[in-house]
Amino acid sequence: MAKALHIDYHKCTGCRLCELVCAVSHDGISNPIRSRIRVMKWEAEGLYIPMSCQQCEDAPCMNVCPVKAISRDESLGRISVDYDACIGCRSCVGVCPFGAMNFNAIDKQVFKCDLCDGDPQCVRFCEVKAVDFIEADEICTSKRRTAAERVSAAGKEAAALEAQL
Amino acid sequence: MPLNRKIAYIDLTTGDIQTKPIPLEVRKKFLGGRGLDAYLLYNHTKKGCDPLGPENALMISGGILTATCASATARTHVMAKSPLTGLLGSANMGGFFAPELAWAGFHHLVIKGKAKHPVYIYVHNGEIEIRDAREIWGNTVPDTQWAIREDLGDQEVKSCVCGPAGENLVRFANVMTGIKNSGGRTGMGCVMGSKNLKAVAARGTMDIKIARPAEALEYNKRFIDQIVSAKVNQTQGALGTAFIWGATNSWGGVRCRNFQYNQCEYADDIEPERIDEIAEETMGPYHMTGCYGCQVHCRAQYKIPEGPYAGKYDEGPEYTSQGAFGGETDTPRALTVLVGNHLVDQFGMDNLETGSLISWAMELYEKGIITSKQTDGLDLRWGNDDAVIEMIERICYRKGWLGDTLADGGIPASKKIGKKSFDYLIQVKGMSNLHSDERATPGLALNIATASRGSDHLRSRPAIDLYHLPQDVLRKIYSNPVAYDGPLSSEHTEYIGKPWQVFWHENCYMGVDSLGICKYHTTFLGATLPNFEDWSKVLYYNTGLEMTPEEIWQVARRNNMLERLFNLREGLIRDDLEKGDMLNHRYFDEPCRRGAIDVVGRLIDKEKFIKMIDELYEHKGLDPDGVPKPETLKELGLQKEPSHLL
């Protein structure tokens, strides 16, 4: 089973270092519009949500591509663009439900997360691990544990309330 | 390349806008940020210019490394002649504005003149326009930014703005960006208000090519590992700067009741852990936020839990707000600190100056120098939480006699109040001290007395002096990048060796301010954090500019000397209590009454203190009057200022 990018926005501090290292490691350039991962912000509420490609199983970008330039790379668990085949029609940009297929107006090319060939730089630099790279079937395990803790805490609270009555 | 970012000259009176490249020789001489701003200020203002007149020049800039792959390059610098002190005005803030300005094609803006009606400047991919802000005028700091986004139809726009305090010409109004990033001290927001300039907005998508991307990335990773491994940054990243309060208050290093005590009793309520308990969303790794590219994430997020401001969202409170609205006024209650912090963030007003002036007024009220007549009936007794909150609003909107008087700053207020009120004012060069008490720490006292923007901890404070570091560690830090074989003392109550430490930190902080890096990423609170040697490398990897650590040290010295030249031109005299390098008499006359055993009874020995100033002047290359010697100016290449290179 390949690893997947797991984003836990609760942990995100909104610093956008992921954007910087993504752009610099791919293009050697600092410019957020070149980043495959983007942090969406609601500053007035202190809410920051990193958005990136989900590498969908039934990927709309792959399905819509008229020249079959987009394909699934099973070994790395990613969806890739074949730039020799791509005609730059941006159909994939239009259908992506996450806004994760980007178009770079400077180089006139679509681009998306390639998981840095298995060593995502956004993950490497994110100290709080708001962006993590873990086995896809393990993502739910930690979530299940957190949810179970909530259930347990709620149970204890209920018992304590009952004892007071 | 970061080096191709330009400078723009904007005249708000005529609407004229000029842009120019920044020549490489200028970069090598001043780098950027605060350093180049100091050069521009000296060159673009005339002696004795009115700080609130159209002739004052307002500089807004990023550092030379802004938005590059160096770590935490988020700092925006703002400079002008200060309406609070009549000397150097300078403010530095985090957030996301400076990187956006760099992506929009600029590193430096020089703004002169005065607009006919409220305007804002919009910088976008190499272009600059002046837009109508009449609809936006009057808004709070955050609302101004949201209104500009609406006006431009772009949610990614970043703005630095002045709030109602700036519009009302409160002499210590801030320029701010985001929720709470404050370009505080010396009233740069007031200069914006005087120019009818509500905001500068930026949005950019222009490439910044990194000279050696692979090396820059790897070095950044090392940098980050080093920075997050420092205990001080880990604590800061979990609790915010509020964590400092417990330590400094317990040994007796904070002002309480203006300057009567050096420790605040019963202050547990304003500790970060307590704030965490009562505020809805605050502290801890899941509720911290950071500036651009920074892994320290030092600011907490909170919602006010109860009272008239219940549910309001803000960031902080910083250590400074704990002191300003908790310690100095003797109101150590979490809610007062949270609300006080929120109000100054909304108004765009300096928390340090506000808290300090309110506590000064409280002492005058206690002494009977002002009475309920001047306070319009407000009971300004120590510990009156409601009065503190009320005064913050009165100052911002210049309500009542006292609100209006304090809004003009400490020295003008003392002249209006009279009756020895000046003797109680804790200030240097017309700017109030933060809430720290330096009577037991001569090194820190020397820092506030000689700092270029007045009583301030961010210009030259040897903060690590409090850690009692062993001699060999001190030697390693302080004899780089230039040799130093004079004395050094691990004891914070000592006088020896401190002038060199203050001189070293002055250059270190000028270094980060010119590069555009945050002080939490250098030898400020963490003794092991990067400085000159690392900067030489990050500068090369990111910009391709080759400079040795010694050369960066020289640039820092040059830039500091420019600030000195400006202050001297505008009337700095060594021993002057209003415009000089001298402390209030209370530092020399009133011993510390509380704190650790080696702190109680301490005060500053004036004779030794004056010798420290002499020694610092020697290190800086100044004569005994504090004026640069001709050979110093020659060594730094400043004999012919103003030289109008830009």
Question: Residue A107 has what pLDDT?
Answer: 86
Query: Strand B431-432 to strand B427-428: parallel, antiparallel, or no bridges (unpaired)?
Result: antiparallel
Distance from CA of B42 to the nearest CA of A (A): 32
**Cβ–Cβ < 8 Å for B129, B122:** yes
Total structural domains in chain B? 3
Domain final residue pick, B376, B409, B432: B432
State the pTM of this model: 0.95
> For residue B516, which residues of chain A lie inside 8 Å, CB to CB?
none
> For residue A25, which residues of chain B lie inside 8 Å, CB to CB?
213, 217
A78 and A118 fall within a common domain? no
Residue B526: which of B252, B241, B275 has the closest Cα?
B241
More confident residue, B464 or B284: B464
Average the pLDDT over B503-521 and give the result.
96
* B288–chain A Cβ distance below 8 A for any pair: yes
Chain B, nearest residue to A104 by Cα: B205
**SS3 category, B498:** helix
- Element of type H or E holding B315: strand B313-315
Distance from CA of A165 to the nearest CA of B (A): 26
Q: Is residue A1 part of a domain?
A: yes
How far is B116 from B453, CA to CA, in rounded Å? 30
**Cβ–Cβ < 8 Å for B490, B468:** yes
Cβ density class B611-639: b for 16+ within 10 Å, e for less: ebbebbbebbbbeeebbbeeebbebbebe
**If pLDDT is split at 50, 70 and 90, which confidence band does A1 have?**
low
Question: Residue A145 has what pLDDT?
Answer: 87
Return the amino acid letter for B252. G
How far is B589 from B71, CA to CA, in rounded Å? 44
Residue B200: which of B100, B349, B90, B73 has the closest Cα?
B100
CB contact under 8 A, A46 and B68: no
The token duo for B623 is 């004569």
Q: Is residue A25 part of a domain?
A: yes
CB contact under 8 A, A30 and B178: no
Radius of gyration of chain B (CA): 23
Q: Is residue B67 part of a domain?
A: yes
A119 and A81 fall within a common domain? no
Question: Residue B135 has what pLDDT?
Answer: 97
Who's near A117: CB < 8 A, 6+ residues apart?
A76
Report B:42-71 residues touching A (Cβ under 8 A).
67-69
> Looking up tokens 């120590």, which residue turns up?
B382
**If pLDDT is split at 50, 70 and 90, which confidence band does A161 have?**
confident
Average the pLDDT over B281-290 and give the result.
79
Over the stretch B324-380, which tens digit does the pLDDT of each residue have? Answer: 999 999 999 999 999 999 999 999 999 999 999 999 999 999 999 999 999 999 999
CB contact under 8 A, A24 and B217: yes
Q: Is pLDDT of B639 > 80?
A: yes
B246 and B376 fall within a common domain? yes
Question: Residue A158 has what pLDDT?
Answer: 86
Question: Residue B281 has what pLDDT?
Answer: 77
* B216–chain A Cβ distance below 8 A for any pair: yes
Give the residue from A20, A33, A39, A104 with the most B CB atoms within 10 Å of its CB, the best one to mutate.
A20
Cβ density class A53-75: b for 16+ within 10 Å, e for less: bbbbeebbbbebbeeebbeeeee
User: Which residue in the set B145, B206, B293 is minimally distant from A20, CB to CB?
Assistant: B293
Tell me the average pLDDT of chain B: 96
A/B interface, count of CB pairs below 8 Å: 91
Question: Residue A139 has what pLDDT?
Answer: 84
Residue B182: which of B412, B432, B353 has the closest Cα?
B353
Over the stretch A67-118, which tens digit does the pLDDT of each residue have? Answer: 999 999 999 999 999 999 999 999 999 999 999 999 998 889 999 999 999 9
User: Which residue in the set A20, A21, A44 is minimally distant from B146, CB to CB?
Assistant: A44
Average the pLDDT over B592-602 and give the result.
93
**SS3 category, B175:** strand
Average the pLDDT over A120-149 and give the result.
90
Q: Is residue B528 part of a domain?
A: yes
Q: Is residue B219 part of a domain?
A: no
CA dihedral B600, B601, B607, B613 (to 10 degrees): 20
A2 and A15 fall within a common domain? yes
User: Which residue in the set B96, B142, B293 is minimally distant from A44, CB to CB?
Assistant: B142
**Cβ–Cβ < 8 Å for B378, B387:** yes
Give the residue from B73, B96, B176, B217 with the most A CB atoms within 10 Å of its CB, the best one to mutate.
B217
Domain span at residue B101 reads 2-203
Chain B, nearest residue to A10 by Cα: B286
Q: Is residue A118 part of a domain?
A: yes
* A33–chain B Cβ distance below 8 A for any pair: yes
A1 and A47 fall within a common domain? yes
Q: Is pLDDT of B145 > 90?
A: yes
Return the amino acid letter for B39. Y
Domain final residue pick, B369, B398, B432: B432
Q: Is pLDDT of B635 > 80?
A: yes
| Residues found in chain A | 165
CB contact under 8 A, A15 and B295: yes
Omega cis (within 30) before A60: no
CB contact under 8 A, A13 and B281: no
Report A:69-98 residues touching B (Cβ under 8 A).
none
**Cβ–Cβ < 8 Å for A137, A144:** no
Q: Is pLDDT of B107 > 90?
A: yes
Q: Is residue A40 part of a domain?
A: yes
Give the residues across from B182 on adjacent strands. Answer: B176
Over the stretch A29-51, which tens digit does the pLDDT of each residue have? Answer: 999 999 999 999 999 989 999 99
Q: Is residue B224 part of a domain?
A: no
User: Residue B530 is part of a domain; what is its CATH number?
Assistant: 1.10.599.10
A107 and A121 fall within a common domain? no
Q: Is pLDDT of B285 > 70?
A: no
User: Which residue in the set B208, B213, B293 is minimally distant from A31, CB to CB?
Assistant: B208
Q: Is residue A95 part of a domain?
A: yes
DSSP code of residue B45: S
B409 and B506 fall within a common domain? no
User: Which residue in the set A29, A106, A121 is minimally distant from B210, CB to CB?
Assistant: A29
CB contact under 8 A, B205 and A31: yes
A120 and A99 fall within a common domain? no
Domain span at residue A87 reads 55-112
B377 and B517 fall within a common domain? no
The token duo for B135 is 């609809």
User: Residue A127 is part of a domain; what is its CATH number?
Assistant: 3.30.70.20
A119 and A97 fall within a common domain? no
CB contact under 8 A, B213 and A24: yes
CB contact under 8 A, A28 and B210: yes
> For residue A106, which residues of chain B lie inside 8 Å, CB to CB?
207
A45 and A119 fall within a common domain? yes
A132 and A101 fall within a common domain? no
Distance from CA of A57 to the nearest CA of B (A): 31
Question: Residue B570 has what pLDDT?
Answer: 97
Who's near A75: CB < 8 A, 6+ residues apart?
A2
Q: Is residue A31 part of a domain?
A: yes
Over the stretch B120-144, which tens digit does the pLDDT of each residue have? Answer: 999 999 999 999 999 999 999 999 9
Average the pLDDT over A18-26 and give the result.
97
DSSP code of residue B629: P
**Cβ–Cβ < 8 Å for B375, B345:** no
**Cβ–Cβ < 8 Å for B294, B224:** no
Q: Is residue B494 part of a domain?
A: yes
CB contact under 8 A, B207 and A34: yes
A41 and A120 fall within a common domain? yes
**Cβ–Cβ < 8 Å for B377, B400:** no
Cβ density class B236-266: b for 16+ within 10 Å, e for less: bbbbbbbbbbbebbebbbbbbbbbbbbbbee
Who's near B248: CB < 8 A, 6+ residues apart?
B254, B436
A35 and A108 fall within a common domain? no
How far is B308 from A100, CA to CA, in rounded Å? 42
Over the stretch B235-274, which tens digit does the pLDDT of each residue have? Answer: 999 999 999 999 999 999 999 999 999 999 989 999 999 9
DSSP code of residue B327: I
CB contact under 8 A, B67 and A30: yes
Report A:106-165 residues touching B (Cβ under 8 A).
106, 121, 124-125, 127-128
Within 13 Å and on the Cβ side, how many CA atoms surround B400? 17
Over the stretch B174-226, which tens digit does the pLDDT of each residue have? Answer: 999 999 999 999 999 999 999 999 999 999 999 999 999 999 999 999 989 98
Percent of chain B at pLDDT > 90 equals 93
Query: Strand B197-203 to strand B119-124: parallel, antiparallel, or no bridges (unpaired)?
Result: parallel
CB contact under 8 A, B179 and A13: no
Radius of gyration of chain A (CA): 19
Question: Residue A121 has what pLDDT?
Answer: 97
B271 and B391 fall within a common domain? yes
User: Residue B129 is part of a domain; what is its CATH number?
Assistant: 3.60.9.10
A7 and A81 fall within a common domain? no
Question: Residue B342 has what pLDDT?
Answer: 97
B180 and B291 fall within a common domain? no
Distance from CA of B6 to the nearest CA of A (A): 17
* A44–chain B Cβ distance below 8 A for any pair: yes
Q: Is residue A87 part of a domain?
A: yes
Distance from CA of A37 to the nearest CA of B (A): 14
Total structural domains in chain A? 2
**Cβ–Cβ < 8 Å for B286, B292:** no
In DSSP notation, B70-104 reads SS----EEEEEE-TTTSSEEEEEE-SSHHHHHHHT
Q: Is residue A147 part of a domain?
A: no
